[in-house]
Structure 1
Amino acid sequence: MAPYLDEALLDDTDELLRKDSRGTLRALATAGAQTREAIALAGEAGVDRLSRSERPRSVLVAALGGSALVADVLELLAEPGSPVPVQARRNLPLPGWVGPLDLVVAVSLSGRAPGPVAVAAEAARRGAALLTVGEQDSPLADVCRRARGVHVGVGRGRASSRTALWSLLTPVLLGAHGLGLLDCPEDTMAQVAERLDERAESFRPSSESFVNPAKMLAVQLAETLPMVLGDGPLGGVAAARASSMLARTARIPAPFGELPDAASQIVAYFDGPYTAAGGARAGTYDERRIRLGDIDTSKWEPHHFAEPEGELMEQPTGPGGRDIFADPYLDGPAAPQLGLLMLRDAPPDPVTDASAQAVALTDAVLQTAAEAGVRVTEAQAAPGPPIVRLADHVATVDFAATFLALGLGLDPSVSPHVADLRDRTR
């Protein structure tokens, strides 16, 4: 049975803000301001010092939890043209090849996450160059300063790494740009800030559900067991972010993948019990098509249970292949319907053979999903540089996951079970 989402609550601005105990919506709305502040803080910290030194042999990024997307984005943007390899590492051990010729980037909002702090300390011991991002007065900052690296602060009022992504990501991208690993100058990051401001305006809590894309997406996700699929590398990173936000913010499990590799994996779900096509294959003919109720079948002959010749007559169905005559009291609650959120990149310009094939594959997956009874939702990024398009997707899924949590009656920033786990592992 799908969870109940209170749509009326989504249009009650005062109640939304009351239930949002730590201001998650407000923090997400400041993403553009975070980006501009991070540009200024990176300049004050001297991130351009990296460009004045020799290019490193390799770059290793240590980030985890809500900060993990920093490593994913850096790998994504550097992969096409970086002259040196860029790798992610969540925790120790630090690879044996890391040494004085390499750069280690460690990111932690609080500056106290054991993994990034330990990686930075070990990198400093080996003489590697350091770029760290986190609180100014923190163990991570101390490690960096002692190693004469570059530490960039994150400003004040950053309560969660999930809502402070751009404070963490911006300095790393600017540093990587200075090293020639990717193309993300300050002008491009200013475009990111503008796009995030535009999305914050569209997704503001006071905007009614029928004109607010993030609220509409939240309602659609609540009615399904969602999967998230990106139509390429950029969409794949956004899909990972969506899965993480749905899990941590809305407490909704959401498998994710990236085309073309994940096509078969995602499509395989369409044969399972959460679609009309998959569910119709379970059980005998009579179990599938005839509701026996209290009928006495003890005197029925074998031929009464035989499959009829010719085509089988299915029960009338509604959208998604649902039985429109199903009685939730007699038949039990229906299983949640499988949903697919497709994160599509902006239309390619110019169109190439490779991009045309990619679009064709995405369309084929969506058609297969629709025919299997999967509820399909699409979100497409507006044109712009890659990081701007990624910001478009990230803002959409961040706001949608937060509205979904609030509509379900959950506090998006506080999970009692996560708190219990922390208490038990201290």
Structure 2
Amino acid sequence: MPYIDDALLDDPEELTRKDSRNTLRALATAGAQVREALTLSHDAGVERLAEHDRPRSVLVAAIGGTSIVADILELLAEPGSPVPVQARRNLPLPGWVGPLDLVVAVSLSGRAPGPLAVAAEAARRGASLLTVGADDSPLAEVCRRARGIHVGTGQTARASSRTSLWTMLTPVLVGADRLGLLDAPAPVLEAMADRLDERAEDLRPSSEAFVNPAKILAVQLAETVPVVLGDGPLSGVAASRASAMLARTARIPAPFGELPDAASGIVACFDGPYTSIGGRRPGTYDDARIRLGDIDTSGWEPHHFAEPDGELMERPRGPGGKDIFADPYMDGPAPPQLGLLMLRDALPETPTPETDQTESLADAVLTTAREAGVKVMEVRTGPGAPVVRLADHIAMVDFAATYLAIGLGLDPSVSPHVADLRDRTR
């Protein structure tokens, strides 16, 4: 079972040594990324999108660490967008895309094959283009030839596309707001930048592990086989981000889901081999039974006995059904414990039947998890506009995944196996 020493996460030299590309510092620039991207969007003329007729549809092409840009745009546009918004990671471009549509292609380097191919095909068909990426890149060139709008990535220090989300996302939000697809005016985006600054301060490396929420979460995650669950659409996107960051940054596989659809699938895991219940219901007995004569039963309550005659009884279990007689030498090491990371949206100022139902379902899942012996971790976002609340969650899971990687002795930005894969597929 992985183990993280809290003192390791409070050692500045160790954090610097393991973090070869300054991932923690790059994450702390999130607020600055938003402000820089607002300026770059204005300089690039994103506002010109509003000068033309509203597109028939919007298609967003992004892959890898930037694929969440498409997920966020779909999430925020869904409630009130007058036109459909769809994500696409690679060719083929849907046959209906043409001159009446807008294609948004996002790539930090401007060289990602999927977005680049989608942008090139969209330009060939005469669709409008909005691209975000490096200024001196093939993606920028495709956009300029098509007389589209290209927003550069600026100079804010970044380690990778995973730490450059806000550079990629902000111009897309500005463009979507100008088109009336969602509500993200400049004051809302400034509030998002302020929230990211606040989280960077709260989760900074110099904050000690016993008060730093991201370090605490990293230590808890290290002790489990984690599953990430969002309590609704907004936290569901954050759960997707958490799963991706845990896998790519901390090398921890973490399936994710969203309530209400994922409730049964997640709860079914509570009966599996990674919980102390292990397929047993509390109060039942199975083959793991012992004779009363083998132990001293003085002081035990009558309900401990599973047979009326008292001859056989279930092996007593502690909280969550844990076997208090388990011997790691005779019975073998215990399997890793299932962990449930529940990402929860802010409580509304005025509850509605829908929000009450969401809260009740999330509470029920957490209660079931605790009774089954699952390690529960709960994170609730602060108040604000949807994009501000989403930024709150993403900052937490990004920092936690990075601390987890460093605590496990891993470089959060460099994976030898990913490098090998790239070499083999060139």
- TM-score above 0.5: yes
Say yes or no: does 1:367 pair with 2:367: yes
Q: Separation in 2 of the partners of 1:310 and 1:201?
A: 62
Q: Would you say 1:208 and 2:208 are equivalent positions? A: yes
Correspondence 1:7-156 to 2 at 5 A: 7-156=6-155
- 1:328 Cα deviation from its structure 2 partner: 2.1
Deviation at 1:204, TM superposition (A): 0.5
RMSD between superposed Cα atoms in Å: 1.7
Per the alignment, residue 4 of structure 2 pairs with 5
Q: SS of 1:365's equivalent?
A: helix
Aligned amino acid, residue 403 of structure 1 = Y
Rounded to whole Å, the distance in 1 between the matches of 2:233 and 2:285 is 44
Where does residue 169 of structure 1 map in the other structure?
Answer: 169
Once the two structures are overlaid, the 10-residue window that deviates more, 14-23 or 321-330, is 321-330
Question: Counterpart of 1:252?
Answer: 252
Match of 2:181 in 1: 181
Q: Is the 8 A contact 1:280 1:288 kept in 2?
A: no
* Within-5 A mapping of 1:264-283: 264-280=264-280
Q: Residues 290 and 24 from structure 1, CA distance in 2 versus in 1: closer, same or farther, beyond 3 angstroms?
A: farther
Distance 2:129 2:31 in 1: 27
Contact (CA 8 Å) 2:277, 2:322: kept in 1 or not? no
Give the Cα separation in 2 of the matches to 1:319 and 1:197.
40
- One-letter code of the match for 2:214? A
CA distance in 2, matches of 1:101, 1:159: 37
Distance in 2 of aligned mates of 1:234 and 1:289: 46
Amino acid aligned to 1:368: T
Verify the 8 A CA contact 1:241 1:394 in the aligned structure 2: yes
User: Which one-letter code corresponds to 2:57 in the other structure?
Assistant: S
The one-letter code of the counterpart of 2:412 is P
Provide the TM-score with structure 2 as the length reference.
0.93
Letter in 2 for 1:414: V
Paired letter, 1:256: F
Deviation of residue 318 (structure 1)?
A: 4.1
Partner amino acid for 1:235? S
Structure 1, unmatched stretches of 5+, are 292-306
Q: Which residue of 1 aligns with 2:330?
A: 330
CA distance in 2: counterparts of 1:333 and 1:153, whole angstroms: 53
Q: Is the 8 A contact 2:46 2:149 kept in 1?
A: yes
Q: 1:338 to 1:94 in 2, by over 3 A?
A: same
Residue deviations 1:320-359, cap 9 Å, x none? Answer: 4333332322222110111101100000121111111111
The residue aligned with 2:300 is none
Query: Which consecutive residues of structure 2, in runs of 5 or more, have no partner in the other structure?
Result: 292-305
Q: Secondary structure at the match of 1:277?
A: coil
Aligned to 2:299: none
Q: For residue 192 of structure 1, what is the aligned residue in structure 2? A: 192
| Cα distance in 2 for residues equivalent to 1:207 and 1:315 | 44
User: In structure 1, the residue corresponding to 2:131 is in which secondary structure?
Assistant: strand
Secondary structure (helix, strand or coil) at the match of 1:225 reads strand
Q: In 1, are the aligned partners of 2:49 and 2:179 still within 8 Å (CA)?
A: yes
Name the SS of the counterpart of 2:210 in structure 1: helix
SS of residue in 2 equivalent to 1:338: strand
Contact 2:22 2:159 in 1 (8 A): no
Superposition deviation, residue 158 in structure 1: 3.0
Counterpart in the other structure of 1:262: 262
Match of 1:239 in 2: 239
Q: CA deviation at 1:55?
A: 0.4
What letter is aligned with 1:202?
Answer: D
Kept after mapping to 1: 8 A contact 2:81/2:180 = yes
Instruction: Work out whether residues 274 and 336 of structure 2, in 8 Å CA contact, stay in contact via their aligned partners in 1.
Output: yes
SS at match of 2:184: coil
Distance 1:196 1:316 in 2: 48
Corresponding residue SS for 1:419: helix
Give, in angstroms, the shift of residue 287 of structure 1. Answer: 4.8
Deviation larger for 77-86 or 268-277: 268-277
- Counterpart-to-counterpart distance in 2, 1:27 and 1:315: 51
Q: How does 1:373-384 map to 2 (within 5 A)?
A: 373-384=373-384
Letter in 2 for 1:385: A
Q: Give the match for residue 225 of structure 1.
A: 225
Aligned to 1:341: 341
CA positional deviation for 1:27? 0.4
**After the TM superposition, which segments of 4 or more aligned residues of structure 1 sit over 4 Å from their partners?**
284-287, 307-312
Letter matched to residue 168 of structure 2: L
SS in structure 2 of the partner of residue 278 of structure 1? coil
Q: CA deviation at 1:278?
A: 2.4
Moved more, 65-74 or 271-280: 271-280
Cα distance, 1:323–1:200 mapped onto 2, change above 3 Å: same
Q: For the residues of structure 2 that align with 1:289 and 1:384, how far apart are their CA atoms?
A: 54
* Change in CA separation of 1:289 and 1:399 when aligned onto 2, cut-off 3 Å: farther
* 2-structure distance, mates of 1:78, 1:285: 52
TM-score when normalising by structure 1: 0.93
2:392 is the counterpart of 1:392: yes
SS in 1 for 2:313: coil
Q: Which moved more, 1:55-64 or 1:9-18?
A: 9-18
8 Å Cα contact 1:320-1:375 kept in structure 2: no
In the TM superposition, residue 53 of structure 1 has moved relative to its aligned partner by 1.1
Deviation at 1:373, TM superposition (A): 1.1
Structure 1 CA distance for aligned equivalents of residues 52 and 288 of structure 2: 70
Secondary structure, counterpart of 1:210 in structure 2? coil
- Number of equivalences: 408
- Matched residues in 1 for 2:290 and 2:169: separation? 57
- Structure 1 CA distance, aligned partners of 2:154 and 2:232? 33
Give 3-state SS (helix, strand or coil) of 1:358's partner: helix
Matched AA of 1:220? Q
CA shift for structure 1 position 6: 2.6
